[in-house]
């Protein structure tokens, strides 16, 4: 660290890179540390040492598959029915309950009625249901509605019992052969060494081949080039890094398809409200010897809205990381003391709650326009700081969650920051030729590493011939990563932490406001405070309080989310309502704030 500050003080780009290369190399070792395990596992499968063992009758438990979606067009209906068909035809040996959860069902009643008719007329092995959320509320709320529809089906006698295993699947996904069975087998079978069952299982998400390859003529178009880059990236960022055997535990799953315990999902909304009830005084008291507030004793109302928004899949993965098995039941209680928290942290390195099956495949689509893909990546890459903010004081108790999440986030930010330094310091370089040579070496190093990772992923998937096109993406993989990962992370982080918040329209403002949690959004808070000061000096009608730097609505301020998804509503970037006199001059809908 001392050498880094010394180099920054000299303000020479080459010397700065010289001071960063050692910690950068350590970061890469941590990031790629799981690749050796992937190679050994792949060799073991190729040699026939490990083979998939089909589920026995007692292991083939009932499964609940919820597919949340918006129905806007006829294509959405067709896509949803294709996804549903791959679920019911996936040859799962147990009972399958499929719920298609329609978010904003009142917007397209004719399409919803058609889908309900198809569900009622289905006569296959699965039970197909439709859940409706009348007004759009976001994916997390739609998933909860799907679970509630299954519970109502049990109460009404449509389904004999609530399935113990829960799947979340995107509406644009298509399942690979026996994907459900493979993921259930991973979930219900204890690990051979730890003898513990995982809490959640991730799938291998792949881009459909027709989506990224249409021959050489399509290869030279922007649409197929972007899809090809994403397809190659998924082979490494998901196919390889989801293997949870590296030096740093995996801290996320993909919402395209994951499997978990239905009980864990049932706890989600209540646990979200419980986390909001934790206070800093509880953290201090815990360090002084008091027991933390018990989740079992929490009597607050569940808050399903707090689970919606960007990163809803990671939200559940983090909940799974803080859970453990006790007497055959899922236990979500906090550690009794810092010593217990340390013991759970050490244990979590050996007993990892997130598992993965690389041959449980789901094929999906990707945005093929620069603007749409950039917006998607801003949403993805800004969700971690947002989720940390929403988890509140929870990570300070649950070190088996907080330590790994912070390590993962800091590692990502450090690697991205180092690459930014290496690319953008040309004006500071006293030796531009040396700087350019380092840039070329960095590009070649990136090409070799990503090429080796892509080949390993292809070997792991047992389909070199089917994936060879993705090697064509390697020359532009570095620039693609810089624009759609590093730049989007930077933009999202600046907007969400230091700016006015990231507005991705992933959930409507009514849901985000009902969540009870805001954004870090320092610029918004400072601007709001400045405007309140100005109003207090001019009108003298603002009482002092913590809300001056807050996010939520008060008698003088609107909620920070106001106007994000409904542009007809008044939105001041400081969140301050007009004075009473000015409010009388505005339209009624604007004055309501």
With a CB cutoff of 8 Å and minimum separation 6, the contacts of 115 are 71, 77, 80, 81, 100, 102, 130
Helix 262-277 × helix 370-391 angle, to 10°: 70
Q: Which residues pair with 356 in a beta bridge?
A: 202
Q: Which residues pair with 130 in a beta bridge?
A: 100
**Confidence at 17, pLDDT banded by 50, 70, 90:** low
To the nearest 10°, the Cα dihedral for 51, 92, 81, 156?
A: -150
Query: What percentage of the chain carries pLDDT values higher than 70?
Result: 91
DSSP secondary structure code for residue 484 in this structure:
I
For 405, phi and psi rounded to 5 degrees?
A: -65, -45
- Cα–Cα distances in Å, from 510 out to 29, 31, 409, 514, 563? 43, 38, 29, 6, 10
Question: Rounded to whole angstroms, how far apart are CA atoms 532 and 57?
Answer: 66
| Chain segment 333-382, per-residue pLDDT in tens | 999 999 999 999 999 999 999 999 999 999 999 999 999 999 999 988 88
Cβ distance 165 to 262 under 8 Å? Answer: yes
Mean pLDDT of 30-34: 86
Nearest alpha-carbon partner for 420 in 32, 24, 26: 24
**Confidence at 567, pLDDT banded by 50, 70, 90:** low
The whole-number pLDDT of residue 98 equals 97
Residue corresponding to tokens 């759009």: 136
The whole-number pLDDT of residue 439 equals 75
The whole-number pLDDT of residue 506 equals 84
| Chain segment 425-449, per-residue pLDDT in tens | 665 666 666 667 777 887 888 899 8
The whole-number pLDDT of residue 585 equals 41
pLDDT, greater one: 18 or 592: 18
Question: Rounded to whole angstroms, how far apart are CA atoms 182 and 83?
Answer: 18
Cβ distance 62 to 164 under 8 Å? Answer: yes
**Confidence at 279, pLDDT banded by 50, 70, 90:** very high
Is the model's pLDDT at 587 over the cut of 60? no
Per residue in 369-386, is it b (16+ CB within 10 Å) or e — as a string?
Answer: eeeebbbbbbbbbbbbbb
DSSP strand E in 313-375: where?
324-326, 329-331, 354-364
The whole-number pLDDT of residue 569 equals 57
| Chain segment 456-468, per-residue pLDDT in tens | 889 888 888 888 9
Cβ distance 470 to 231 under 8 Å? Answer: yes
| Chain segment 398-427, per-residue pLDDT in tens | 999 999 999 999 998 888 888 887 777 665
With a CB cutoff of 8 Å and minimum separation 6, the contacts of 48 are none
Question: Rounded to whole angstroms, how far apart are CA atoms 509 and 559?
Answer: 9
With a CB cutoff of 8 Å and minimum separation 6, the contacts of 492 are 378, 379, 381, 382, 502
pLDDT, greater one: 413 or 584: 413
Q: Which residues pair with 367 in a beta bridge?
A: none
The whole-number pLDDT of residue 427 equals 57
Query: What percentage of the chain carries pLDDT values higher than 90?
Result: 55
DSSP strand E in 309-465: where?
324-326, 329-331, 354-364
Mean pLDDT of 92-119: 93
Q: What average pLDDT is seen over the chain?
A: 87
Is the model's pLDDT at 302 over the cut of 60? yes
- The long-range contacts involving 396-399, CB below 8 angstroms and separated by at least 24 positions, are 396/283, 397/278, 397/283, 397/286, 397/292, 397/334, 397/335, 397/341, 398/321, 398/322, 398/334, 398/335, 398/341, 398/344, 399/335, 399/341, 399/342, 399/344, 399/345
**Confidence at 586, pLDDT banded by 50, 70, 90:** very low
Is the model's pLDDT at 13 over the cut of 60? no
Q: State how far Cα 476 lies from the chain centre.
A: 26
**Confidence at 146, pLDDT banded by 50, 70, 90:** very high
The whole-number pLDDT of residue 11 equals 47
Cβ distance 451 to 232 under 8 Å? Answer: no
The whole-number pLDDT of residue 67 equals 96
Token pair, residue 264, equals 């864990």
| Chain segment 221-253, per-residue pLDDT in tens | 999 999 999 999 999 988 888 899 899 999 999
Per residue in 81-92, is it b (16+ CB within 10 Å) or e — as a string?
Answer: eebbebbbebeb
Mean pLDDT of 492-503: 90
Is the model's pLDDT at 579 over the cut of 60? yes
Mean pLDDT of 198-205: 96
pTM assigned to the model:
0.90
Cβ distance 162 to 153 under 8 Å? Answer: no
Q: Which residues pair with 69 in a beta bridge?
A: 102
| Chain segment 459-495, per-residue pLDDT in tens | 888 888 888 999 999 999 999 999 999 999 999 999 9
The whole-number pLDDT of residue 6 equals 46
Cβ distance 8 to 1 under 8 Å? Answer: no
The whole-number pLDDT of residue 300 equals 93
Q: How many CB atoms within 10 Å of residue 344?
A: 19
**Confidence at 571, pLDDT banded by 50, 70, 90:** low
The whole-number pLDDT of residue 483 equals 93
Cβ distance 260 to 198 under 8 Å? Answer: no
The whole-number pLDDT of residue 30 equals 86
Q: What is the DSSP string of 376-395?
A: HHHHHHHHHHHHHHHHTTHH
DSSP SS3 for 111: helix
pLDDT, greater one: 63 or 120: 63
Q: How many CB atoms within 10 Å of residue 341?
A: 20
Q: What is the DSSP string of 280-292?
A: HHHHHHHHTTPPP
Cβ distance 475 to 448 under 8 Å? Answer: no
| Chain segment 170-194, per-residue pLDDT in tens | 999 999 999 999 999 999 999 877 7
């Amino acid at each position: 660290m001392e050498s880094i500050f010394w180099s920054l003080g000299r303000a020479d780009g080459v010397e700065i890179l010289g001071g960063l290369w050692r910690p950068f190399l350590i970061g890469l070792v941590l990031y790629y540390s799981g690749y050796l395990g992937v190679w050994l596992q792949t060799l073991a499968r190729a040699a026939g040492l490990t083979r998939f063992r089909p589920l026995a009758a007692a292991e083939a438990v009932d499964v609940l598959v919820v597919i949340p979606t918006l129905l806007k067009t006829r294509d959405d209906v067709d896509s949803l029915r294709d996804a549903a068909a791959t679920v019911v035809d996936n040859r799962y040996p147990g009972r399958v309950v499929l719920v298609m959860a329609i978010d904003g069902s009142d917007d397209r009643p004719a399409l919803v009625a058609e889908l309900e008719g198809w569900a009622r007329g289905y006569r296959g092995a699965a039970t197909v249901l439709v859940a409706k959320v009348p007004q759009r509320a976001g994916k997390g709320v739609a998933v909860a509605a799907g679970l509630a529809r299954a519970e109502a089906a049990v109460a009404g006698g449509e389904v004999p019992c609530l399935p113990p295993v829960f799947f979340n699947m995107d509406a644009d996904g298509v399942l690979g052969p026996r994907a459900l069975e493979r993921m259930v087998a991973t979930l219900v079978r204890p690990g051979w060494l730890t003898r513990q069952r995982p809490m959640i299982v991730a799938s291998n998400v792949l881009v459909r081949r027709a989506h990224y390859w249409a021959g050489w003529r399509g290869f030279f178009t922007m649409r197929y080039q972007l899809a090809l880059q994403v397809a190659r990236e998924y082979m490494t960022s998901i196919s390889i890094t989801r293997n949870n055997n590296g030096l740093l535990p995996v801290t996320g799953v993909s919402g395209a398809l994951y499997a978990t315990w239905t009980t864990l999902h049932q706890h989600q909304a209540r646990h979200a409200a419980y986390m909001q009830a934790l206070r800093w005084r509880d953290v201090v008291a815990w360090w002084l010897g008091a027991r933390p507030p018990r989740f079992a004793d929490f009597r607050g109302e569940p808050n399903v809205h707090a689970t919606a928004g960007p990163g809803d899949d990671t939200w559940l993965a983090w909940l799974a990381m803080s859970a453990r098995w006790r007497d055959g039941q899922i236990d979500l209680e906090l550690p009794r003391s810092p010593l217990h928290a340390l013991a759970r942290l050490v244990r979590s390195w050996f007993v990892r709650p997130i598992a993965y099956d690389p041959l449980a495949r789901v094929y999906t689509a990707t945005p093929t326009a620069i603007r749409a893909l950039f917006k998607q990546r801003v949403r993805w890459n800004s969700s971690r700081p947002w989720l940390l903010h929403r988890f509140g004081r929870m990570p300070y108790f649950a070190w088996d969650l907080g330590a790994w999440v912070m390590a993962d986030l800091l590692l990502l930010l450090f690697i991205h920051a180092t690459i930014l330094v290496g690319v953008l310091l040309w004006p500071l370089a006293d030796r531009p030729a040396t700087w350019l040579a380092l840039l070329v070496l960095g590009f070649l190093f990136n090409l070799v590493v990503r090429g080796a990772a892509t080949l390993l992923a292809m070997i792991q998937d047992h389909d070199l011939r089917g994936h060879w096109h993705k090697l064509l993406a390697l020359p532009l993989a570095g620039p693609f990563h810089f624009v759609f990962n590093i730049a989007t992370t930077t933009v999202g982080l600046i907007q969400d932490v230091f700016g006015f918040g990231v507005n991705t329209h992933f959930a409507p403002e009514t849901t985000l406001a009902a969540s009870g949690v805001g954004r870090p959004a320092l610029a918004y808070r400072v601007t709001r405070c400045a405007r309140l000061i100005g109003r207090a000096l001019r009108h003298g009608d603002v009482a002092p309080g913590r809300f001056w730097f807050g996010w939520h609505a008060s008698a003088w301020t609107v909620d920070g989310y106001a106007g994000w998804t409904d542009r007809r509503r008044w939105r001041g970037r400081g969140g301050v309502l007009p004075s009473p006199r000015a409010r009388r001059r505005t339209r009624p809908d604007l004055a309501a704030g």
